[in-house]
């Protein structure tokens, strides 16, 4: 018997035996049950967590492509052979390879998996900089550097003319490339750790190069212009040990005086600077900034700690500190990531000796990104240089 029929039977029985007040209360209770039964049952949301670590499928794809080329097999056959115990991954490869332009499709799918991993670990991306498409390799961003002015005038007096002045940030393609050498034993290995090595080596080296040039890029024909070498950036050099209180007036105040929007502010400094600020105290011995630093902020603004900034080996241990509005840092992208592999290529080792990947049972992987970056308004950043030793 269905629940609805059972409720109707109970209702009829009650109507025959209960007094009016009891009958009314029971009817109400039964009506409530019937209303609730008509409502849809909403199952609690289930969070589906991927069983793959970030970038693992991209690394597996590279391995399958290399293995397929080496053994003269299809990518699907390579996936079946290397990852026979992972039916999910193999089926995904089969699905993507079934398209007419399967080779490009599967690369686009998986290379996109690497890019968030690469970008999320860069200084400027942690600060949330702007990304702009640059399909033709060049991009000009117009900016106003001064505006027209208004003034009160006397009767029959003509206003003096004033003009808005404009400048531009010009971005042009720069190539960031990496060549990494992998043992073919790693290619044949289906373990997650082998996948991780394939992924990490390329990502780490490209991230390091982007990080350093975001801060110190020379702006040559082949390298982007970093913050410290951008025109108009405020430079503060003090022959004194870092003082957390003074850093606000030295580093933050110049942005306020320059009328910078100050929409996405942040600090960049190295572990030596962090240590000094972390241990700075009031006269009574209480720590000034320790609690704030533990929460990832300094003077109310987020910070990134990086070893790309080095402390000098001189007697005073001079070090740079960066502060700025990272909404004024622009990245123009022409090509996100291109990956090519070869087991026949030759390369020079760290000692300058020519090596053959074919003879050494190795594979050469070359990654290429094409982009440029720069600062829209130099006054949006302050670069300070201070001592770490008295």
Query: 327: helix, coil or strand?
Result: helix
Beta bridge partners of 369: 176
Burial 8-43 (b: 16+ CB within 10 A, else e): eeeeeeeeeeeeeeeeeeeeeeeeeeeeeeeeeeee
168, two tokens: 């531009």
pLDDT of residue 108: 73
Most confident option among 22-26, 306-310, 338-342: 306-310
Q: What is the DSSP letter of 129?
A: -
Model confidence, pTM: 0.76
Tell the residue number behind the tokens 């053959």, with chain if given: 356
Residues 67-79 have a mean pLDDT of 89
pLDDT of residue 236: 98
Contact 281, 288 (CB under 8 A): yes
By CB atoms closer than 10 A (0-12, 13-18, 19+), residue 263 is exposed
Q: What percent of the chain has pLDDT over 90?
A: 45
Q: What is the rounded CA–CA span in Å between residue 12 and residue 29?
A: 14
Q: Does residue 67 or residue 149 have the better pLDDT?
A: 67
pLDDT of residue 201: 81
Whether the predicted pLDDT of 258 surpasses 80: yes
Contact 111, 104 (CB under 8 A): no
Residues 212-223 have a mean pLDDT of 94
Q: What is the rounded CA–CA span in Å between residue 322 and residue 251?
A: 8
Q: What is the rounded CA–CA span in Å between residue 371 and residue 118?
A: 14
Beta bridge partners of 347: 355
Q: What is the DSSP letter of 165?
A: E
Query: How many C-beta atoms surround the C-beta of residue 7 within 10 A?
Result: 15
pLDDT of residue 244: 97
Most confident option among 37-41, 61-65, 253-257: 253-257
Q: What is the rounded CA–CA span in Å between residue 115 and residue 346?
A: 27
Catalogue the E-assigned strands of the chain. 130-133, 138-146, 165-172, 174-183, 234-241, 265-269, 297-298, 301-305, 318-325, 329-342, 346-348, 354-356, 362-375, 381-387
Q: Does residue 270 or residue 101 have the better pLDDT?
A: 270
Residues 371-387 have a mean pLDDT of 95
Q: What is the mean pLDDT of the chain?
A: 85
How far separated are the first and last CA of the chain, in Å rounded?
Answer: 88
Residues 368-381 have a mean pLDDT of 93
Q: pLDDT per residue over 16-54, tens digit each? A: 555 566 666 666 666 666 555 555 554 555 555 678 888
Phi, psi of 26 (to 5 degrees): -65, -40
Query: 354: helix, coil or strand?
Result: strand
Whether the predicted pLDDT of 328 surpasses 60: yes
Long-range contacts of 204-213 (CB under 8 A, 24+ apart): 205/178, 205/180, 206/118, 206/176, 206/178, 206/367, 206/369, 207/118, 207/121, 207/122, 208/308, 209/176, 209/178, 210/118, 210/122, 210/124, 210/176, 211/122, 211/123, 211/306, 211/308, 212/308, 213/373
- Of 134-148, 196-210, 214-228, the poorest mean pLDDT is in 134-148
Query: How many C-beta atoms surround the C-beta of residue 90 within 10 A?
Result: 18
Whether the predicted pLDDT of 246 surpasses 90: yes
Query: Is residue 344 very low, low, confident or very high in pLDDT (cuts 50, 70, 90)?
Result: confident
CA angle 37, 38, 43 (to 5 degrees): 75
Q: pLDDT per residue over 122-146, tens digit each? A: 888 888 888 889 988 888 877 655 5
């Amino acid at each position: 018997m269905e629940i609805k029929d059972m409720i109707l039977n109970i209702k009829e029985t009650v109507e025959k035996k209960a007094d009016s007040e009891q009958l009314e209360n029971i009817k109400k209770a039964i009506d409530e049950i019937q209303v609730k039964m008509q409502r849809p049952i909403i199952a609690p949301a289930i969070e589906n967590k991927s069983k793959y670590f970030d970038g693992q499928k991209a690394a597996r794809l590279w391995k399958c492509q290399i293995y397929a080329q080496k053994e003269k097999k299809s990518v699907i056959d390579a996936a079946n052979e290397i990852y026979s115990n992972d039916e999910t991954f193999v089926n995904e490869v089969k699905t993507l390879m079934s398209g007419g332009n399967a080779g490009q499709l599967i690369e686009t799918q998986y290379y996109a998996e690497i890019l968030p991993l690469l970008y999320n670990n860069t200084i400027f991306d942690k600060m949330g900089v702007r990304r702009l498409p640059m399909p033709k390799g060049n991009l000009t961003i117009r900016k106003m550097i001064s505006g027209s002015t208004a003034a009160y005038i006397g009767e029959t007096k003509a206003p003096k003319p004033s003009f808005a002045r404009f400048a531009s940030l010009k971005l042009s393609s720069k190539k960031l490339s990496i060549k990494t050498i992998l043992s073919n034993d790693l290619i044949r290995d289906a373990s997650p750790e082998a996948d991780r090595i394939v992924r990490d080596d390329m990502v780490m080296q490209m991230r390091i190069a982007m990080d350093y040039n975001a801060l110190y890029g020379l702006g040559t024909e082949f390298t982007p212009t970093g913050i410290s070498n951008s025109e108009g950036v405020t430079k503060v050099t003090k022959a004194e040990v870092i003082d957390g209180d003074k850093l606000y007036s030295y580093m933050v105040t110049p942005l306020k005086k320059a009328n910078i929007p100050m929409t996405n502010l942040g600090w960049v400094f190295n572990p030596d600077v962090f240590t000094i600020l972390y241990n700075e105290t009031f006269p009574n011995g209480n720590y000034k900034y320790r609690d704030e630093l533990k929460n990832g902020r300094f003077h109310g603004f987020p910070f990134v700690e990086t070893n790309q900034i080095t402390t000098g080996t001189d007697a005073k241990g001079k070090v740079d500190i960066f502060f700025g509005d990272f909404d004024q840092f622009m990245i123009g992208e022409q090509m996100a990531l291109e990956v090519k592999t070869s087991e026949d290529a030759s390369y020079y080792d760290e000692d300058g000796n020519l090596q053959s990947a074919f003879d050494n049972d190795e594979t050469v992987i070359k990654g290429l990104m094409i982009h440029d970056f720069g600062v829209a308004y130099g006054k949006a950043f302050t670069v300070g240089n201070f001592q770490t030793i008295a």
